[in-house]
C-alpha cells in the first residue's frame, strides 16, 4: 500500500471520528428540537380540535335556547342562556347575554331589559356591539322611557360620522315625536331621509312619519315627503310611538 493511500485512509478515519464526536455532542439537541416541534404541532392540533368542539357545543346550546324561547318555554331558555353565558366559549356568551336581555323585554320586564343592555354596552370592548346594545335599549325606551333616556344612549350615534346614524336617527326622531318635540323630530327624520346611503326601506319609513306629521298639522307644509313612499309599502312600516 502506498503512503498516499495510507494517509487518505487515516484522514478518512479522522474525519469519521470527528463526525461521530460532533454527532454525540449535538444529537441531544437535534433530537430534542425534533421532539419539541412534534409536540408543538400535536398541541396546536389538539387545541384546535378542543376549541372547535367547544364552539360547536356552545352553538348547539344557543340554538337550543332559541328553540325553547320560540316554543314559549321562557324559563328553560333563560336557564340555558345563563349556563352558556357562564361557561360558553368564543363569542357565544355575549350572544347569550343579548338574547337574555331580549327575553326580559319579551316578558314585559322593560326596566330589567334596559338595564341588561346598558350592562352589555358598558362592558363590551367591541364598539359595534356596544352601539348595538345602546340601540336596543333605546328601542325599548322609545315607548317606555323619556326623550332624555333615549338621547343619553344614542345621542352620539345620530351624528353624521356614525355608521349607526340612520337607525339612531329614526329612534331619536320617534322619541322626539312622542315628547312633542315636532320640529326636532322633523329634522331627525329629514336627516335620515336625505342620507344618500339610506336604503329604500328606512327612507320609506321616514317619508311615512313625515306624511303622518304633516297630516296632523304638527309640521310645515313644505316637509320633503317622497311621492313614492306610502304607508302600504311592501315592507312593514312602524307607526310613530305616540299613536
Residue 230 pLDDT: 43
Q: How far is residue 94's CA from residue 73's CA, in Å, rounded to a whole number?
A: 21
Angle in degrees, CA 235, 205, 155, rounded to 5: 130
Q: What does pTM read for this prediction?
A: 0.64
DSSP-derived secondary structure letter, 155? G
Instruction: Print burial letters for 197-222: b (CB count within 10 Å at least 16), e (below 16).
Output: ebeeebbbbbbbbbbbbbeeeebeee
Residue 76 pLDDT: 72
User: What is the average per-residue pLDDT within 218-236?
Assistant: 51
Which residues neighbour 11 within 8 Å (Cβ) at sequence distance 6 or greater? none
Residue 219 pLDDT: 79
User: What is the average per-residue pLDDT within 188-199?
Assistant: 92
Residue 237 backbone phi and psi in degrees, to 5: -115, 125
C-alpha distance from residue 218 to each of 182, 186, 194, 199, 213 (Å):
6, 9, 20, 26, 6
Average predicted confidence (pLDDT) for the chain: 75
Reported as a single tens digit per residue, the pLDDT across 77-124 is: 777 777 777 776 667 788 888 888 888 888 888 999 999 999 989 888
Asked whether residue 59 carries a pLDDT value surpassing 60, the answer given is yes
Q: How far is residue 29's CA from residue 154's CA, in Å, rounded to a whole number?
A: 61
Residue 15 pLDDT: 61
C-alpha distance from residue 241 to each of 90, 138, 188, 193, 198 (Å):
37, 13, 15, 19, 22
Question: How many CB atoms within 10 Å of residue 226?
Answer: 15
Q: 117 near 133, Cβ under 8 Å?
A: yes
Reported as a single tens digit per residue, the pLDDT across 125-166 is: 888 889 999 999 999 999 989 999 999 999 999 888 889 999
Q: How far is residue 79's CA from residue 69's CA, in Å, rounded to a whole number?
A: 11
Q: 223 near 186, Cβ under 8 Å?
A: yes
Closest listed residue to residue 84, CA positions, set 102, 111, 57, 121: 57
With a pLDDT cut of 90, the percent of the chain lying above it is 33
Helix or strand run (H / E) with residue 188:
helix 182-193
Residue 233 pLDDT: 45
Amino acid at each position: 500500500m502506498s503512503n498516499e493511500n495510507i494517509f487518505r485512509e487515516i484522514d478518512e478515519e479522522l474525519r469519521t471520528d470527528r463526525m461521530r464526536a460532533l454527532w454525540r455532542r449535538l444529537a441531544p439537541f437535534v433530537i430534542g428540537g425534533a421532539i419539541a416541534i412534534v409536540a408543538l404541532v400535536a398541541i396546536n392540533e389538539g387545541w384546535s380540535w378542543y376549541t372547535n368542539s367547544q364552539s360547536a357545543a356552545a352553538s348547539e346550546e344557543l340554538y337550543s335556547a332559541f328553540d325553547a324561547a320560540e316554543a314559549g318555554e321562557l324559563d328553560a331558555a333563560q336557564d340555558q342562556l345563563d349556563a352558556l353565558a357562564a361557561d360558553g366559549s368564543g363569542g357565544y356568551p355575549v350572544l347569550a347575554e343579548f338574547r337574555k336581555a331580549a327575553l326580559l323585554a319579551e316578558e314585559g320586564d322593560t326596566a330589567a331589559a334596559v338595564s341588561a343592555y346598558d350592562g352589555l354596552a358598558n362592558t363590551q370592548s367591541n364598539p359595534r356591539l356596544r352601539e348595538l346594545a345602546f340601540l336596543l335599549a333605546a328601542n325599548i325606551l322609545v315607548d317606555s322611557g323619556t326623550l332624555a333616556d333615549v338621547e343619553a344612549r344614542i345621542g352620539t350615534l345620530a351624528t353624521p360620522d356614525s355608521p349607526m346614524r340612520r337607525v339612531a336617527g329614526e329612534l331619536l326622531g320617534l322619541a322626539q315625536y312622542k315628547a312633542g318635540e315636532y320640529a326636532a323630530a322633523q329634522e331627525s327624520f329629514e336627516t335620515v331621509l336625505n342620507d344618500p346611503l339610506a336604503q329604500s326601506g328606512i327612507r320609506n319609513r321616514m317619508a311615512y312619519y313625515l306624511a303622518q306629521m304633516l297630516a296632523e298639522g304638527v309640521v310645515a307644509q313644505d316637509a320633503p315627503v317622497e311621492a313614492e313612499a306610502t304607508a302600504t309599502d311592501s315592507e312593514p312600516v312602524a307607526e310613530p310611538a305616540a299613536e
